[in-house]
Chain A
Amino acid sequence: MNRPESTPATMAARPAQLTMTADGKLSCAGAWTLDHLADLERQIAGLPKTLTGHINCDVGAIAAMDTGGAWLLQRTLSQFERSGCTLSIQGMSKDFGALMQTVAQGWAHTGQYQRSAPPSWLERLGQGAWRAADNLRKALTFIGEAATATAALLSRAQHMRWRVLLYNLQVDGLNGMPIIGLLSFLMGIVIAYQGSEQLKTFGANIFIVDLVGISLVREIAPLLTAILVAGRSGSAYTAQIGTMTVTEELDALRSLGISPMSLLVVPRAIALIIALPLLTVFADAVGVFGGMLIALSQLGVTFTEFLNRFEYAIVLRHYLIGIGKTPVFAGIIALVGCYQGFQVSGGVDSVGRHTTISVVQAIFLVIVTDAFFSILFSWWGL
């Protein structure tokens, strides 16, 4: 039973041992400390399950003992007793005896702990339904509160937090330009490249303008920008407001008579509603420029030809439809981001969870709304 140790011993040299002889003599030896307990536990599991008669337990050779070892010995001995054995213990030192007693007393207190059973599927279903309904109610309340706060602030412009609004305009709008520009540029290149292969075979080179122009301006640039902003700014809103909830900063604001809605939500929402259309215009321009470069290099369509055709092919309504959707997207992103921030409760893991929910929900809602717009516009024949 003398197995090699699994962990390096830090103190006692001899590993713990438990040996049982046929005549019912149990001898314990070595260091009954945490390092050796795993080994000891296996040795105990190897003892016969049902023991009867008298057991003579000799603990004199135990060199060291900590609470873990004391508990294991205590547990093993009381198991023997429960199975109907009589025990006599020999060689227990004063210190170890005191430790064993402390452990036994401690264990007596743990009895009040009751492990809660995992809920049944019916209970989980009910809780899930209740939570969903509750979330819907909270979301509607939040939208209502945000709308009234916005209306109140717009009617009394001197109460608007202009600095916060301008700051968010800079952080969410201006600072997002490089990444949005780069990705939109690449998107223009990809679309033009894929299209040019097809158009070349028909000799319909000039229609690259229609392809790149309409797809980018009407659909791809607004959607791409909204998704990037949801990832960039929506998540930041949730994390920021959520952390403020955890650190009680929101409560501090309320107690100072500052409405978190008017300080944190309304300026962010308005800033994003201004910034997202502007970012989309920028994305349009950079994306089309990317398309122009490919049109020139792959299809020989010069910049002048491209722009002449562009003026004719891309009628104003495509552009307006593309831009017109973005304030709605911006509203969705800002509201979802802030709402999820307010839903944070408890600790730091909640911040992470709600940030994830915020980004996923915002992107999901943006795409659903975009699909809804597409259906609506095709009904109207736009």
Chain B
Amino acid sequence: MTNAANTATAPAPIIEVAHIQTRFGAAVVHEDVSMTIDKGEVFAIAGGNGSGKSVLMREMILLQQPSAGEISIFGQNIRTMDQAAVSALRRRCGVLFQHGALFSSLNVAENVAVPLREHTKLSKQLIEELALLKIASTGFPMASVGKFPNELSGGMRRRAALARALALDPEILFLDEPTSGLDPISAAGFDELIQQLDEWFNLTIVIITHDLDSLWRIADRVAVLGGGKVLGIGTMNELSTSSDPLIHEYFHGPRGRAAKEQAWNRK
């Protein structure tokens, strides 16, 4: 539920992550991770492969429990939530999984209608109209709405999955590497789409990415994970002048420089 009336409120924390620790057996993924995500911002979580970005997201969307530490969403601690509160919370969050995770036995329209059918008592016609509306808003080609996931290209699958994530008008949208595996043109198009949706639906967006172009383009703030810790949090400009050697390496490698120049040229 996006409440379009509350746009002008001062930034308030919508997700608070406090001293998270995660271990799988002997492997430590997060040693001590804390961050605060404000309402309405586009917050990116960056970091190398295996730095625990996806695990952190899975913990935020209640698919996994951290070994220690607290996560609060909308001011509620997720550890102490009961089943009804968890279900209500899930309705307010939309998730785009890395590979789309569309249901392979349903076509695109049916995939997007699943959350509506499950969580509302609307008429079939209205559900279909709302699903089509969400599909149209992601720029998915309408002629392919009757197709099944395995008949779609990677970019189309990503857009269809985004439409499903938006089906219930979530307040927070989680995106797990939305541009990975897309060609540069599609990736740029997807970045634009995310900005557009943010504007239309007044979302808080948590985006996991190591696409430096995306980071420069759409992220309001970025948290860089590494070695089980948060190496730095801030705007891209702040981070790119950081003295931390790992962050410096991350943003000033050959690809980082190119992305920055591109971003400046675009501005």
Which residues of A are in contact with B by a Cβ distance under 8 Å?
6-8, 10-12, 33-35, 37-38, 41, 63-68, 71-72, 75, 93, 95-96, 98-99, 102-103, 106-107, 109-116, 345-350
* CB pairs A–B below 8 angstroms (11 shown): A7-B121, A65-B4, A66-B2, A96-B4, A112-B142, A114-B143, A116-B146, A346-B150, A347-B104, A347-B149, A350-B104
Out of B3, B120, B148, name the residue touching A37 (CB < 8 Å): B120
B115-131 interface code vs A (CB 8 A; 1 in, 0 out): 00001111100100110
Out of A7, A107, A346, name the residue touching B104 (CB < 8 Å): A346
Query: CA A88 – CA B121 in complex, angstroms?
Result: 31
B91-A349 in contact (CB<8A): no
B129-166 contacts to A, CB under 8 A, are 129-130, 132-137, 141-143, 145-146, 148-150
Question: Helix, strand, loop or mixed for chain B's interface?
Answer: helix
Using Cβ atoms and an 8 Å threshold, which residues of chain B touch A116? 146
Using Cβ atoms and an 8 Å threshold, which residues of chain B touch A64? 1, 3-5
Query: CA A77 – CA B129 in complex, angstroms?
Result: 16
B150-A63 in contact (CB<8A): no
A110-B132 in contact (CB<8A): yes
Out of B88, B123, B145, name the residue touching A8 (CB < 8 Å): B88
Q: How far is the CB of B106 from chain A (nearest CB, A)?
A: 9
Which partner residue on chain B sits nearest A10 by CB separation?
A: B88
Query: CA A308 – CA B104 in complex, angstroms?
Result: 62
B1-A34 in contact (CB<8A): yes
| Chain A CB within 8 A of B201 CB | yes
Which residues of B are in contact with A by a Cβ distance under 8 Å?
1-5, 7, 88, 91-92, 104-105, 109, 119-123, 126, 129-130, 132-137, 141-143, 145-146, 148-150, 168-169, 200-201
Which partner residue on chain A sits nearest B169 by CB separation?
A: A66
Known: A38-B120, A346-B104. A71 touches B133 (CB 8 A): yes
Question: Helix, strand, loop or mixed for chain A's interface?
Answer: helix
Q: How far is the CB of A351 from chain B (nearest CB, A)?
A: 10
A34-B168 in contact (CB<8A): yes
Which partner residue on chain A sits nearest B115 by CB separation?
A: A34
Interface centre among A65, A109, A113, A115 (most CB of B within 10 A): A113
A63-B104 in contact (CB<8A): no
Q: List 19 additional contacts besides A103-B133, A106-B137; criterion CB under 8 Å.
A: A7-B121, A10-B88, A11-B3, A34-B169, A35-B120, A41-B126, A64-B3, A64-B4, A64-B5, A66-B169, A67-B133, A67-B134, A67-B169, A72-B126, A102-B200, A110-B133, A113-B109, A113-B145, A345-B150
Q: How far is the CB of A91 from chain B (nearest CB, A)?
A: 13
B146-A67 in contact (CB<8A): no
B88-A110 in contact (CB<8A): no
Query: CA A24 – CA B129 in complex, angstroms?
Result: 27
Using Cβ atoms and an 8 Å threshold, which residues of chain B touch A8? 88
